[in-house]
Amino acid sequence: MTSIPGATPGASIPIESVPNLRDIGGYRTRDGATIRFGHYYRSTDLSKITVDDAPRLADLGLVTVFDLRTHSEREAAPDRVPPSAREVPLDVLADKALRSVPAQMQAVMSDPSIAVSMLGENKALDYFLGSYRDFVTLPSAVASYRTLFTDLAARDNLPALVHCTTGKDRTGWATASLLLLLGVDEDDVFHEYLLTNEQLLPAFASIFDKFTAAGGDPELLKQVLGVRPEYLQAALAQMREKFGSIEGYFADGLGIDVAGQDAIRAHLLEG
C-alpha cells in the first residue's frame, strides 16, 4: 500500500486523471493524536482514469470506494474502480428538489449566457449555501452519510476513498465532519477543505480559458468549480443549530452512537 509522498498533511497525490486526490492523514488532533496515513482518501470521480494511471490508484490498496454522486451522474460517467475495491453508491442529493446546477454543469461551463442566467446575481452563492445546509438535514444526505460513517466504523472497509463528481462539496462535507469528529482543530479543517482550490481548479484551466474567451466572468465559474469558506460555514451553522456539536450530529443526526464514533477514531487515529 502506498500513500502520499512524504508526510505532509493535505499533499496532493499526483495522479493526473484523478485530480483533487489526497490523503487526510497527518493532521493532528487537539489531544495530540495524529490521523493515520493510507486509510481515508478523497478525490473527484474515477471515470476518467487512464490506463497508465489505473495501477497507481490500485497501489493505494483501496477496499471501499464511496460514490456520493446522483444516479444520473453515475450513469453518465461510471467509475473505473480498482479491482480490490467494492463501490458503495450513496446519492446524497436524491431528495433535493433543485438539482439543476449539477445536471447542467456542462452547459454552464461552455456558455456564459447560461451561466449568468442560472448563477448570476448571487444565485450560485445561494445555491451552494442551501446545498451545504441540506448536507446536514436532507433525508437522502442523512441516509448517505449514515451509511458512509457506519462503514468507516468497520476496520475491514479501510482503506477507503470518498468522492463525488469534483470531490469538493458532498465530499467536502463528508471529510470536514469526519475531521471534526476526530478532534482536528477547525482552522485545520478549513485549511484541508480549501485545498480543493489549489488542487482542483488548475485541472479546469482550459475550461476557464474558453469561458473567458466567450465573454464569461471567470469569478462566476470559480464559485461553481471551487470552494469558499462560506459554503462550509453554512453546513457547520446548520449542524450546530440542529444538533449542538459534531458529536450530536453523529449521534442524533446520523444515528451513530458513542461506540460507533469511538470505533471511527480507533481506526483512523494513532498516538
Average pLDDT over residues 214-222: 84
Mean pLDDT of 139-155: 97
> Is residue 53 scored above 70 in pLDDT?
yes
Q: What mean pLDDT is predicted for residues 43-60?
A: 96
What grid cell was written down for 191?
Answer: 485549511
The mean pLDDT value for 219-233 works out to 90
Burial 181-204 (b: 16+ CB within 10 A, else e): bbbbeeebbbebbbbbbebbbebb
pLDDT band at 183 (very low <50, low <70, confident <90, very high): very high
Q: Which residue bears the cell 469569478? A: 219
End-to-end CA distance of the chain: 21
Q: What is the DSSP letter of 202?
A: G
In this prediction, residue 134 carries a pLDDT of: 94
The angle that helices 139-152 and 170-182 make with each other, rounded to 10 degrees, is 50
Digit-coded pLDDT (tens) for 73-108: 899 899 999 999 999 999 999 998 665 565 566 667
More confidently predicted of 210 and 23? 23
Grid-cell match 482552522, residue found: 187
The whole-number pLDDT of residue 50 equals 97
What does the pLDDT average to over 154-174?
96
Rounded mean pLDDT, 19-34: 96
Percent of the chain with pLDDT over 70: 93
| Alpha-carbon span 128 to 41, nearest angstrom | 23
The answer to whether residue 232 scores a pLDDT higher than 90 is yes
- Higher-scoring residue by pLDDT: 119, 72: 72
Mean pLDDT of the chain: 91
Average pLDDT over residues 23-31: 96
CB contact set of 193 (below 8 Å; sequence gap of 6+): 172, 175, 176, 227, 232
Please check whether residue 92 is in contact with residue 140, taking contact to mean a CB–CB distance below 8 angstroms. Answer: yes
* Pair type for strands 160-163 and 40-43: parallel
Task: Check if the beta carbon of residue 1 is closer than 8 Å to that of residue 23.
Answer: no
What are the angstrom distances between the C-alpha of 29 and each of 153, 181, 253? 18, 10, 23
